[in-house]
Every structure is written in C-alpha cells, then in structure tokens.
C-alpha cells in the first residue's frame, strides 16, 4: 500500500514510488517527521526523533521521551506557536482568552483510498485506484481546536499533496492568525533555495541561493500570487543540477497572497512552511466551523532538478488540468490586442478573420475594447455589454460571420475590475474594494471589484452569462490587470476585515467555477498582465495561462525556462508577434513551446510570409502531442550560458524527439558540440531532415557537432528525430 501505519512503532510510511515520507507519533502525542527523501523499505528509522537541545534556554519536558525532549529542537511535523517551539510556526490561533498559544497533539487517524476535495477551493484530483489519503487528527486539549493534517499519496508518481482542516470544537469564538498548508522538517540546512522572481513582462527568473541561518524565503502581499514571486520553491542539494542530485519542489495551489519561508536553526536543521500569507490575514472561527487551507503539492526527485520538473509536468497534465481541452488539441489563434489594441470594430476583425483563415489559423480572439464605451483603459470595466458604436448590430451577427468564415471565436473579460468611469460604478460606488474614509488607489486607471461579496459576483455573472449564453463563444480570456490595495470590504464587520483577501480569492474561484460548469466547452485562458497569476489554482479552471505580456522571443526564453521549473508546456500561452528583434522563424520556434498563436496584424503579411506562417502552423500540428505531453529536457539554460539556448521534448515512449537551439549571440563559428538528453541509449534515431541515423548513446554521450548550423545572432534551428530499426 502507498500508506502504511506501523502499529508497533507508531509510524506512518507514505510511499510515492520514488520517495518515502515517514511520520511518528511520539510520546505525549507529539507528531514528528523522521524522514523525507528517496524511497526506503523501512517504516521506522531510529535516532531521528529527537535532536540536541543546544540552546540552553529552550524549554524541555522531562516526562517526554528520554527526559530531554524540547519542542524547539524536535522535528515537529506541524509547528505550532507559543508552546515551546520558537521556530517559524505553521499555525497560530488566538483563543477566547486573548492568548495565541497553540499546542496540538495526535488524537486519531484514518487511511482511505482516493482523494478528498477541498471546500470552495481548487485542488488536484485522483480516482480511488490512483491515490491513497491519510488524515491525522490532532487536538489542542486546552482550547478544543481540532487540526486535521491531510496527506494524499499519488502512487508511482513522486508526488505527495498536503492540506489542513481547522475546526473549532469549543463553545467560543477563536481567530486563526496563521494556517500554513505544509510544514516540512529537514535534518540539515545543506540545501540551495530556488525561487522564481520577476516583474511585469519579465516573470519567473530563476534565483538560487544557499540556505543560511535564520529565516529566508519568498512571498506575495499583492492579493494575488503576482509577477514578483511565484508560489513555487525548491530545496536542492548544493551539487544538484538538471540531471543529478536531490531536489524537493513545493507548489501552492492558491491564487492569493502567499508565503514560503525556510528557517535554519541552531541545530543546522531547516523547516519549510508554505501557505496563505499571514500578513493581513486573520480568520474568525465560530463554534463548529471549519477552515480549510489550500493544497500544496510536494515533489521529490533523486535525479536532479530536471526530473523534479518532469514529475510536476506529468502530474499537472493528469491530475490538475480538467475538461475538454485536457486532451483535445487547442486551436491556433490570433489575438487582436497587439494588432489593434482598443481600435476594433466588426469590419476590421472580419478582415482579420479572413486573412487568418487563408493561412490556417483556427480562431480569432477579440481582446479588450468591445464593451461599454471602451476606447482606452480609463473606462467601462464592469459594463459587460456590447459597444454599439463598434458593433452596431450587436455581437451575435458578427460572431456568426466569424464562424461562417470557418474560425472559432474568442472574447476578453476582466471580471474582477471596475472603472471609475462606468455605469456600474456610478450606480454602485460601494462595490469597489476600498476602506471607508479613504480614497482608493487607482491601478491602470481602474479599481478592484469586491468579488468577496455574493451580490457583486451575481451582477458580474449575470452580465457575462448574458453574453456567453447568447453567442457561440469558443474561448474566453480572463484578465486581471492590477494588484489589490485598500484591502477591505464594506460588508465585513470589524473583527473579520482581515478575512477579505482570502474571501476575495474564494469569490474568484466561485465565478470561475460557475463559468467552467455552465460552459464546459469553452477554452478558458487565464491572464493577469501576462503571468501575474500563473499558479496551479488557475490551472484547475483554465488549461492554459498567458505566460507573459512580453512577446519578444529572446526575452521569452528566460521566461519559459523559469516557468518550466514547475509548469508544463501545455499550460503556457505563447505567441508569435511583430517584435522586431528576431525573425518569424525564431519567434515560431520559441512559441511552439506552449499553446501556439499569433499576436499581430495578420492582414499585413506578404505572400512569402503567408507561406512561412503556414509552415509554422503545420509544425504546431505535427509536434503538438510531443510538446504538450512529452518530457521536457532543458539542455542549455539561458541562465547559465550567454550565447546559446537549447531544449528538447521527448515522447514518453522515447520514440520521438524535438530539439530546438536558439543562438543569442552570433560569433565566429566555434566548435560547438551538443549532447542530447532523455533518449533510449540502446535505440537508433533518424534525423528526419538529413536522413542520418544515430544511436541514442551517440547522441547523448558523444553529441552532435552543430558548429555551423546555428550561428547568426537570434537564429534558431530544430531537429526532429524518430526511433527506427538499425
């Protein structure tokens, strides 16, 4: 079984097929983490349940264990605040007496097949045959707070998920001040911390730094997961690279403000916590109520950072992405934004559609500017009805004409926003996010709409539903173009004001759930100024996310490499644009790493360019399954070498390989040998362009001499190999 309880030793062994995660019920009901790492056969290991109490002032309990047990040094599985453990805590609850001392101990457990859902929140899923779940119930005997730690093991995947349920079993109100989704203990601090930082148009750069004593980590205070930091971190061995070494990855299935922290203590051990950011968060928990944390996905690989990434990719493609487009090929689209911005009308867009159809594009997406009186970014968000100046006959005849041309049709919304210059704001100014007595801050000339309120969500939904139900719409791009300031809701009482940011995200999930439930055939793409809300919770609703507003192919290399540390190619929106730095060929080679499309005025192409674009689209169809569902190997990273970048997609049966190389800096031709990865060393592969046949062993261990094949600045080349008989 994937989860075994050893009654004699009071230990749990959670076996993912690749890793073992071992817990122990210790004396006094303390729950301890004994081990997380490469799979081992033992269910109990000795000598790891206590650590030296080196800090002379750390409290200890002579009645527990060997008489020298201290909560401050023990490998506590879910660290609580105020009861002798001075490290960063995973949970802190203020009780009716006003103190926040929390001390949870083991009460009971249950093991069952399958995986539970999480109330009101997205989460990964599995059948009873694919996963096993352990729920450990702990209790604070003084306050009657019940904390249930939920672990699900996805067998033979390397994946373990965690979440927490907190129930108030007392007769008095309590306040949750922090409730993290995971708390992972490691007996050493000899790791590097990897995180993904950035800003608008330059998202998810890779940053790697060794752990140091004290607290370090990343977080978002923006109300959303943000461009600034992604809710992903990894702890890797100092010598770990793409192909070797221990790598632990952690990803939070949450779209709001988050925190991921690591503390290294005086014992040179480390504790990682990840969950809702406690800054600006408190949750009022009335008697018999339960609070649910978002889920965290934990991945272990003994075979380097690259295999950690591939585990995430396979897992999300199978256990997070849902709906029709989980497996169905997504259409090649052209988006109107960079071609026309707000200057759209039915005639112009029909011209786009005709030009797109001619070269094989399959869908026209009408971006911002179709609604209210929207001619720039100062007006009309919240007024989701057609702009009659641009579409005098309404949307329906126009959309029908797009379909008659032979294209699918997509539309843009920004449902969580409201413009000061809008009918909705003039009628309901209280519906914007604001603090009473303060003028709310503008961002992109707009306010945030308070979707924590059910009445606000109902108004937004009614407007969206009226458009969607009256028209045949195949795709919807959901945008979010500012962070949340002045975080408060007029409907929340004073003792619940700090619930707002979490309630806002729950409101967003409610709207998205309505959308995907009523319109399951719509291809839903998430966006937040590009990649500002690129997180697994969004992927539960939308099988793809606009990776970045930056469509320059060279800049996209770093963005896509960083994104791929955790997220698969299938979810990355990537388009060819008119950015002048590179050729259309290089742009297409980079954009093929994702859900492919165009972001330019398709009407302006000459005949030679039309022929070239038809070739791009043919390649998209040819390589679709290989790229979207194959294994990614990062061969040469833009973060490590300045002149060339390379990556491969290898089908999971290793019968097909697509290698792409991009030259960043043109030089005098150099002796450049590229060694491939991930092939069957005992098989033979045919280069479909040259006809040459190589052994997998030669391609990986000797390599290919491509010295004269990719040299011009910003040039690129692809090699496609298929497995053949010698």
By C-alpha distance, which of 684, 569, 688 is closest to 626? Answer: 569
Report which DSSP code applies to 340: H
Residue whose structure tokens are 């261990």 = 701
| CB-based contact 338:344 (threshold 8 Å) | no
By C-alpha distance, which of 520, 547, 523, 524 is closest to 535? Answer: 547
By C-alpha distance, which of 34, 28, 1, 6 is closest to 17? Answer: 1
* Active-site residue, from 479, 535, 589, 631: 479
Q: Using CA of residue 681, residue 684, residue 687, residue 693, what is the dihedral sign?
A: positive
Is 549 a known active-site residue? yes
Residue 520: HSE in the Cβ half-sphere, 13 Å Cα cutoff: 7
Q: Using CA of residue 237, residue 238, residue 244, residue 249, what is the dihedral sign?
A: positive
- Distance (Å, rounded) from C-alpha 504 to C-alpha 502? 5
Strands (E), 568-630: 572-577, 595-599
Report which DSSP code applies to 396: H
| CB-based contact 658:623 (threshold 8 Å) | yes
Q: Residue 318: helix, strand or coil by DSSP? A: helix
Report which DSSP code applies to 314: H
| CB-based contact 229:217 (threshold 8 Å) | no
Helix H or strand E segment including 233: strand 229-236
- Distance (Å, rounded) from C-alpha 510 to C-alpha 75? 38
* Active-site residue, from 265, 549, 589, 631: 549
Alpha carbon of 48 to those of 15, 235, 531: distances in Å? 19, 20, 42
CB atoms within 10 A of CB 266: 15
| CB-based contact 525:538 (threshold 8 Å) | no
Is 687 a known active-site residue? no
Tokens matching residue 290: 């339960």
Query: What residues are annotated to the active site?
Result: 479, 549
């Amino acid at each position: 079984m994937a989860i075994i309880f050893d009654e004699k030793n009071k230990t749990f062994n959670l076996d993912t097929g690749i890793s073992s995660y071992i817990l122990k019920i210790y004396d006094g009901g303390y729950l301890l983490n004994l081990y997380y790492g490469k799979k081992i056969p033992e269910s109990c290991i000795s000598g790891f349940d206590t650590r030296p109490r080196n800090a002379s002032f750390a409290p200890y309990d002579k009645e527990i264990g060997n008489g020298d047990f201290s909560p401050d040094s023990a490998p506590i599985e879910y660290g609580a605040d105020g009861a002798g453990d001075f490290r960063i805590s995973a949970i802190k609850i203020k009780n009716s007496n006003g103190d926040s001392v929390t001390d949870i101990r083991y009460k009971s457990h249950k093991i069952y097949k399958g995986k539970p859902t999480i109330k009101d929140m997205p989460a990964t899923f599995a059948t009873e045959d694919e996963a096993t779940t352990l729920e450990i119930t702990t209790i604070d005997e003084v306050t009657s707070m019940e904390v249930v730690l939920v672990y699900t093991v996805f067998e033979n995947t390397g994946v373990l998920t965690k979440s927490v349920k907190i129930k108030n079993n007392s007769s008095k109100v309590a306040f949750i001040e922090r409730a993290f989704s995971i708390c992972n203990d490691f007996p050493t601090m000899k790791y590097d911390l990897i995180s993904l930082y950035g800003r608008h148009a330059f998202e998810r750069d890779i940053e790697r730094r060794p752990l140091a004593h004290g607290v370090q980590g990343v977080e978002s205070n923006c109300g959303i997961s943000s461009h600034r930091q992604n809710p992903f971190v990894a702890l890797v061995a100092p010598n770990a690279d793409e192909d070797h070494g221990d790598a632990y990855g952690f990803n939070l299935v949450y779209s709001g403000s988050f925190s991921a922290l690591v503390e290294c203590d005086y014992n040179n051990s480390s504790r990682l916590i990840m969950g809702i950011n406690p800054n600006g968060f408190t949750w009022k928990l009335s008697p018999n109520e339960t609070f649910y944390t978002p889920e965290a996905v934990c991945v272990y690989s003994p075979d380097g950072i690259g295999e950690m990434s591939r585990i995430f990719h396979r897992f999300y493609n199978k256990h997070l992405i849902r709906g029709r487009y989980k497996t169905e090929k997504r259409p090649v689209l052209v988006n109107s934004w960079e071609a026309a911005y707000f200057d759209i009308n039915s005639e112009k867009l029909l011209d786009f559609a005709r030009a797109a159809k001619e070269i094989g594009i399959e869908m026209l997406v009408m971006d911002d500017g179709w609604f209210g009186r929207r001619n720039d970014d100062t007006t009309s968000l919240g007024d989701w009805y057609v702009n009659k100046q641009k579409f005098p006959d309404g949307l329906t005849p126009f959309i029908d004409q797009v379909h008659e041309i032979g294209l699918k049709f997509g539309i843009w919304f920004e449902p969580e926003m409201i413009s000061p210059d809008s009918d909705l704001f003039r009628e309901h100014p209280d519906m914007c996010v604001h603090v009473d007595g303060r003028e709310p801050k503008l961002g992109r000339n707009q306010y945030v709409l308070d979707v924590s309120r059910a009445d606000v969500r109902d108004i937004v939904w009614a407007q969206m539903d009226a458009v969607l139900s009256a028209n045949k719409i195949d795709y919807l791009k959901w945008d979010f173009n500012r962070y949340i300031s002045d975080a408060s809701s007029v409907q929340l009482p004073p003792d619940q004001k700090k619930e707002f940011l979490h309630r806002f995200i729950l409101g967003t999930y409610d709207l998205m759930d309505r959308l995907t439930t009523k319109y399951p055939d719509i291809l839903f793409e998430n966006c937040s100024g590009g990649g500002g809300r690129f997180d697994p919770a969004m992927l539960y609703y939308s099988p793809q996310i606009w990776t970045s507003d930056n469509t320059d192919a060279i800049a996209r290399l770093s963005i896509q490499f960083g994104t791929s540390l955790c997220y698969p190619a299938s979810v990355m929106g990537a388009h060819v644009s008119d950015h002048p730095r590179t050729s259309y060929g290089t742009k297409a080679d980079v954009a093929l790493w994702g859900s492919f499309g165009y972001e330019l005025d398709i009407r302006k192409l000459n005949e030679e360019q039309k022929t070239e674009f038809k070739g791009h689209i043919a390649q998209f169809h040819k390589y679709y399954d290989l790229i979207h569902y194959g294994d990614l190997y990062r061969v040469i990273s833009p973060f490590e070498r300045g002149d060339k970048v390379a990556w491969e997609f290898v089908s999971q049966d290793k019968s097909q390989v697509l290698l792409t190389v991009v030259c960043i800096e043109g030089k005098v031709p150099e002796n450049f040998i590229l060694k491939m990865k991930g092939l069957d060393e005992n098989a033979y592969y045919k280069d479909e362009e040259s006809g040459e046949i190589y052994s997998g062993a030669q391609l990986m261990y000797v390599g290919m001499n491509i010295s004269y094949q990719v040299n011009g600045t910003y040039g690129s080349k692809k090699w496609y190999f298929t497995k053949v008989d010698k």
